[in-house]
Amino acid sequence: MGKGRRKTMHLSKMYSLRRSGFEDDHSQIGGPGFSRVVYCNEMSGSEGITQNYADNYVRLTKYTPFTFLPKSLFEQFRRVANFYFLVTGILAFTALAPYSAVSAVIPLIIVVGATMVKEGIEDWQRQQQDHEVNNRKVKVHRGGGVFESSQWKKLRVGDVVKVEKDEFFPADLLLISSSYDDAICYVETMNLDGETNLKLKQSLDVTSLINEDSKFNSFKATVRCEDPNASLYTFVGTMQFQEQRHALSPQQLLLRDSKLRNTDYIYGVVIFTGHDTKVIQNSTDPPSKRSKIEKRTDSIIYFLFFVLFLMAFVGSVYFGITTRDDLDGDRMKRWYLGPDRSEIFFDPKRAPMAAIYHFLTAVMLYSYLIPISLYVSIEVVKVLQTLFINNDVDMYYEEADKPAHARTSNLTEELGQIDTILSDKTGTLTCNSMEFIKCSVAGTAYGRHVTEVERAMAKRTGSPLLMNGDGNDDNSHLSVKGYNFEDERITNRRWVHEPHSDVIQKFFRLLAICHTAIPDVDEDTRNVTYEAESPDEAAFVIAARELGFEFYKRTQTSVSFMEFDPKSMKNVERSYELLNILEFNSARKRMSVIVRDEEGKLLLLCKGADSVMFERLSKEGRQFEENTREHVNEYAQAGLRTLILAYRELSDEEYKEFNEKFTEAKNSVSAERDDMMSEVTDEIEKDLILLGATAVEDKLQKGVPECIDKLAQAGIKIWVLTGDKMETIRLEAINIGFACSLLRQGMKQIVITLESPEIVAAEKAGDKSVIAKVSENSVKKQISAGKAQLDASRSEAHALIIDGKSLVYALNDDTKNAFLELAVGCASVICCRSSPKQKALVTRLVKEGTGKTTLAIGDGANDVGMLQEADIGIGISGVEGMQAVMSSDIAIAQFRFLERLLLVHGHWSYRRISSMICYFFYKNIVFGTTVFLYEGYAAFSGQPAYNDWYLSLYNVFFTSFPVIALGVFDQDVSARFCLKFPLLYQEGVQNTLFGWRRIFSWMLNGLCSGVIIFFLCTRALDPESYDKNGKTAGMEIVGATMYTCVVWVVNCQMALAVSYFTLIQHVFIWGGIVLWYLFLLAYGSLSVSISTSAYKVFVETLAPAPTYWLVTLFVVIAALIPYFCFKAIKMRFFPGYHGMVQWIRHEGHTEDPDYCNMVRQRSIRATTVGFTARSIARDNNLYNLERQ
């Protein structure tokens, strides 16, 4: 049996757990979409396999060992540039080639091979993660009541498994029994929906007694259910067991990747495996994401192809006409070409064919206009940029030992162009924990500590508020998780001296009793910990314990706790008989328990939202109402979640009548069951006596408000998409908005919700078509009203808050554009109770509707669709669950690291990649221009200006390393200035560094440099004697001299463009030039059959000639003067964002607060969120009031 069973817990007798009847959707079983048949505990395993059900192996990799080579080659040659070089490489083996085949093919092999190696390494890392998950162990029934450990990947549909406490479910399981007698279990679904509160599941009664290993020897059943689908919250099926058919519901389904908590073990039957499981069905294949810069680079490549073919066409037409006119009778104009004995290439009688052949030759010759090493250089730079991200100690979370991890290197520059962030809340902005921080009892407010909202505002304004509480941003000073309460009036048993000590006693007794938490007492230390269904409940019982009311035991019929007795001045044990639990749900907005105390009194203890609790108070129970309401409002403004606590005494007759009605309603299987239960509970939850209110803080992660403030200053819009329950929509959205600085006082709120009386009435009527129509019309009206409000006050900041039900209709095709227009016009947007699919749809709407770069950030499996849909997905590597991380592009441990990731690494990466690509095209246009002009100089005869290996190695060796150094190491400003002036980030959002204007300006610069190099070299060398012997410069001398000037110019141009020099950049820039001279020496020393026109050209001809050195010097200076003048004028009179910051640093204004604020505030618009903007808005309001 393993662990001992908990035999005292029949919670199903207290909870109103629903038992599904066939009146639900079970009539569909066997029809389309409901055809799955599972034979449980079949040892042969043949049934599930013969029906071709998926195995439990999950693969998230892009390649397999068999598909890597063909798929990777396809990926490489899908790029038009690589395909073009493949074609020219093939043509190089023909007589048309102006260079040798080897010199054309080797660079292509190097470039494609390097990229394939990089792809292989990244996919191998993903395969390692798959291997870890697929090889986890679980106990599987192997017959004879024996359970053996087996790997997850070997599970089959129908297998019976045993999952123990704190283990993940390996597949979608049907719950058979558990360690509790009534077969309940607690499940944590944070991997699925991001929530840490525990969900209660319960098996069918008929299988609850199959609760030991040996009892599965004879267990046989047949399950017929729905086919695999993505719905996490529905399940329809039946179980044929002991010749009877039983209805199944989501209450019996345990989903893969959720975790068993507070239950020693469960037995379950595998229903869905592998890619059929609901969590995998909710995820999509990892999309092939490409950055906007890469897409624009493709467009530039296409443009250069157009230019290349145009040049080849013009040259071929000219060549054809000149060839046709070569023979003038018996006289040959170009006698040296031998047109009278030529075969096609220069045959005047076949001039059209000669032109066509020349076109093919020119297409190969001008290929150097296209940078063959561009893509592989970008890949290398991006990989190195990801290493900087991974090794940034400022993004390392020491507490969890988790650094940042870039899982793909394709999108680093996109980090510098984010326009909108779409964030999950639970576990992303918050710590997944609640802290009891304040309370109001008998009209008196207790609790000294300040909240995140109060702390953020106090820091900005310099308020002394921090002196009244803890001014720390972390919780390292807390000795008890979930408890952040301090007030000397009631701590340490001093509450007995308060004026209303009896009310205080009842208040904390209620907290110790009115809940569904399960205590876990350590046998050695006797310390009590709690497993609760929600973080709120855990915070309440912990607070009660810390204040002297320690709940320590729960049985089927009782709740026991220790409390301090004011009369005896000792701790005494209290035990209350637990009669009923009236559960919390979205309609009731409250929870109650009915207990009998030790004196025999019947008590109803109730806690709930203020919107439903105040109206249920009796006339005699409103003594503290006014003060309590005031305190609740103050708590809400401070970003706290509040609940009202009240109680009443019941008579025996009243309770007996209620219990009969409640039991009847609970056991009903009709469609009106919920309404019947609600009606019964409404009758007894009235005439309450108010005790007070609690206030808990949904604790934000460290640095969240500051991070959001900086991102807002950078001009980034922030949307929060939360899956929180409907009952907390308005209050929770607004509280978290204020706490995160997404909302501020004075910001107008546009709330879209479906809570109008008309819709409530339609829902009670139950006509789905009417509900849909009324709801859709209501959402359209609210969107129109919101747009009107927005248009009427464009200068003011607005916040949009919308719930999940409204979002369904807002995302309809005929409504979504209006909704997007409204949302984009608001400073912040908060979407509540969003399903995983809705999160993905909202992300797609923003991405496609605005055309701007989007970033999604989340920590749970429910965020996977959103992460994959966004241009960049950021996974929070939280304490539990890696589903979001495994589907993300970059993983970080805390939301606050997003500030450095975007404002520093994003800005640097965008600037580096943009400058690098522009420089790549510049240097290739310089080189291609000289090749084109020389061929024109040679009458478009297909004669290259340079030796074959000069041509091939230009992009691969002599000019590639400096540009890689630029892409890896260059910094326009330091990390400190990136954070100090978020304004810099707007360069990426506005794409100022990679717009068409800047791209064409670099191309024009390359064209000018190429023209200057060609004409100065040819004019300087052509008519004059080259050396002291009076020899003129031949083609090999002109070519080598011109090539030398090109290498010098493009490398010196790099030196002018670099903002931040490192030793590596010096080595690469000047080393590229030195490498050219060394190559001339080495290559020229080879035999003439190998070196051809380069044979000893440097040693014997170039080096001894002063003309060579003088021409190089003056040509380089002349080619660089235009760019130098342009840059100097622009920097002095028209500086960009980074230029302004560089001037601040240059002129020594970095510590001048007024000067820095003047520059910084250029990024803060009237609608920007964050506490900086909040403070500015408040100051502006005060200024306007003073003027009035």
The set of catalytic residues is 424
Which amino acid makes up residue 401? D
Tell me the three state secondary structure of residue 729: helix
Please, which residues have CB within 8 angstroms of residue 1083's CB and are 6 or more apart in sequence? 949, 1091, 1094
Q: Hey, what's the torsion of the CAs at 61, 62, 65, 71, to 10 degrees? A: 180
- 857 forms beta bridges with 423, 874
User: Is the Cα torsion angle 1130, 1133, 1137, 1139 positive or negative in sign?
Assistant: positive
Beta strands (DSSP E) in 442-500 are 444-446
What angle in degrees, to the nearest 10, is found between the helix axes of 704-713 and 452-461?
50
Question: Does residue 535 contact residue 481 with C-beta atoms inside 8 Å?
Answer: no
Question: Does residue 998 contact residue 1085 with C-beta atoms inside 8 Å?
Answer: no
- 418 forms beta bridges with 853
- Per residue, the 3-state secondary structure of 247-289, as one string, reads EECHHHEECCCCEEECCCEEEEEEEECHHHCHHHHHCCCCCCC
Q: Nearest 5°: phi and psi at 529?
A: -120, 165
Question: Does residue 282 contact residue 230 with C-beta atoms inside 8 Å?
Answer: yes
Q: What is the DSSP string of 37-67?
A: EEEET-TT-HHHHHTT---S-----S--TTT
**Exposed e or buried b per residue across 429-454, where buried means at least 16 C-beta atoms within 10 angstroms of its C-beta:** bbbbbbbbbbbbbbbbbbbebbbbbb
Question: Does residue 564 contact residue 548 with C-beta atoms inside 8 Å?
Answer: yes
Q: Hey, what's the torsion of the CAs at 291, 296, 301, 306, to 10 degrees? A: 150
Chain CA centroid to CA 1106, Å: 61
- For residue 1025, the 8-state DSSP code is B
The tokens describing 179, both together, are 């360690």
- End-to-end Cα distance, the chain: 80
- Residues in the chain, total: 1188
Please, which residues have CB within 8 angstroms of residue 580's CB and are 6 or more apart in sequence? 14, 592, 593, 594, 659, 662
Question: Does residue 239 contact residue 221 with C-beta atoms inside 8 Å?
Answer: yes
Q: How far apart are CA 371 and CA 870, in angstroms?
A: 30
Q: How many CB atoms neighbour CB 604 within 10 A?
A: 25
Closest CA to 170 of 258, 228, 256: 256
Task: Give the H/E segment covering residue 470.
Answer: none
**Exposed e or buried b per residue across 152-184, where buried means at least 16 C-beta atoms within 10 angstroms of its C-beta:** bbebbbbbbbbbebebbbbbbbbbbbbbbbbbb
Closest CA to 830 of 429, 287, 335: 429
In the Cβ-directed half-sphere of 243, how many Cα atoms lie within 13 Å?
A: 0
Residue keyed to tokens 């599987």: 140
Question: Does residue 514 contact residue 575 with C-beta atoms inside 8 Å?
Answer: no
- Pairing state between β 717-721 and 418-423: parallel
The tokens describing 86, both together, are 């493949």
What angle in degrees, to the nearest 10, is found between the helix axes of 704-713 and 1171-1187?
70
Residue keyed to tokens 């800047």: 998
